[in-house]
Amino acid sequence: MRETRPIIALDFPSFDQVKSFLARFPSDEKLYVKIGMELYYAVGPEIVRYVKSLGHSVFLDLKLHDIPNTVRSAMAALAKLGVDMTNVHAAGGVEMMKAARDGLGAETKLIAVTQLTSTSEEQMKEFQNIQTSLVESVVHYAQKTAEAGLDGVVCSAQEVELIKKATPADFVCLTPGIRPSGAEVGDQKRVMTPSAARAIGSDYIVVGRPITQAHDPVQAYRDIKDEWNR
Ligand code: C5P
């Protein structure tokens, strides 16, 4: 099921910056935000409680990867924070992903990272000793993620069509690397516009700097949201 709100990556180093950024939006506008490792480890669980207290939805992007028992307990702790979506590394295995689901409960969305987009095919072959193409590895991990009962994967927009073909109909793809046409690409290598991401079947888009660094973040958010829903 496609989420109509673009997920805003709250890549800020401090609590104060998050507060002033969110304060720009009308209080009745409920956002969907991504809290990543930097902010979570710097501020702690308080940041999630704060954002939830404002009525926003939270994707907690911590990419857990450990033995199944540890991941189950960690997920139970995250469930108590009331997050709406979180994630694991598919490389942890089917048992680990099932344990994550078990600890988190059925209501919270749980997705997996396949191959990080910072990993090249050469690195994967040489370092991980996986002798297939990168995209075959991504699709394999996505199928294992579905088998473990998770909701979907984080992937590059370029991978969505292949993943959708190889997984059940309700399996979701969350895609970062989204740039409205004409925007700064920054350090992202392969980008896609919100309308192109919609056309290829992304269910969630994650957008950071084009909103957080914009002169008028609220307007930038609205424009991206409009393009995503048009
Ligand atoms: O600022 P920007 O829109 O590039 O931010 C994208 C967000 O999505 C960042 O938080 C980044 O870490 C995250 N991300 C990504 N590519 C991935 C996985 C996560 O850009 N493959």
Domain ranges of the chain: 7-229
In 3D space, the residue among 32, 97, 31 whose CA is nearest the CA of residue 63 turns out to be 97
188 labeled part of a ligand binding site: yes
* CATH 3.20.20.70 assigned to 7-229: yes
H or E stretch at 195: helix 194-200
Q: Residue 213 is encoded by which pair of tokens?
A: 């660094």
For atom 18 of ligand 1, the residue with the nearest CA is 176
Whole-angstrom distance, CA of residue 179 vs CA of residue 185: 7
For atom 14 of ligand 1, the residue with the nearest CA is 176
pLDDT digits (tens, 9 = 90+) for 133-159: 999 999 999 999 999 999 999 999 999
- Predicted structure pTM score: 0.96
* 112 within 8 A of 91, measured Cβ to Cβ: no
Q: Is the dihedral of CA 13, 14, 20, 24 positive or negative?
A: positive
pLDDT digits (tens, 9 = 90+) for 173-222: 999 999 998 888 888 888 899 999 999 999 999 999 999 999 999 999 99
Q: Is the distance from the beta carbon of residue 63 to the nearest atom of ligand 1 less than 6 Å?
A: no
- Residue of 7, 10, 11 to test ligand 1 pocket, by largest number of atoms within 8 Å of CB: 11
150 labeled part of a ligand binding site: no
